A = this chain, B = another copy of it.
């Protein structure tokens, strides 16, 4: 391999193109408005606890994204004990999926930036909730999760100390984890057709 070819090889760590990541960071440092993203979802109720979302477009890095040829579609459902027929995972389970993925990606990204190779990473999540909140049976019971626990199994080419630091960084910088840990305003507006 010639030096020229070697220079053209993308340097990937943990499956991420580190040069592109650093280029992105440099661009954002020059123009912070590039960091502004707006994500979107459209949802349509079907019946009972069944509804479907479509997700495709978003705004980010200064433009409307057009990289997706078709929309992602996801079905919410409920198990029989919550009056459904398992038409899909339910919304609080999708929240755990979002949280697991976000903490994982955030950790892998920060590891790559530090040159740490992750060999394996898996998580198990559990969250407790009391459906008296959902049903409005006791207004002192919060409808949402009381607590969410993440058990993380991780193997990486770094010290235990560096690994513990990575886990702290991932928790502090994960957008979904931050959205869950912090009070985020949700505004609902009634629109007419």
Contacts and interface: CB of A to CB of B under 8 A. Distances in A.
> By DSSP majority rule, is chain A's interface helix, strand, loop, or mixed?
mixed
A131 B185 contact: no
Given A15-B48, A94-B94, 14 more contacts: A15-B46, A15-B50, A35-B130, A39-B129, A43-B122, A45-B108, A45-B122, A68-B86, A91-B105, A91-B176, A145-B184, A147-B184, A148-B186, A167-B188
Interface in A20-58: 20-21, 24-25, 28-29, 32, 35-51, 53, 55, 58
Interface string A133-167: 11111100111111111111110000000011001
A186 B190 contact: no
Contact of A38 (B78, B100, B126, B173): B126
Given A28-B137, A101-B53, A189 B41 contact: no
A82 B35 CA distance: 11
Contact of A187 (B35, B51, B147): B147
A144 B175 contact: yes
B53 A144 contact: no
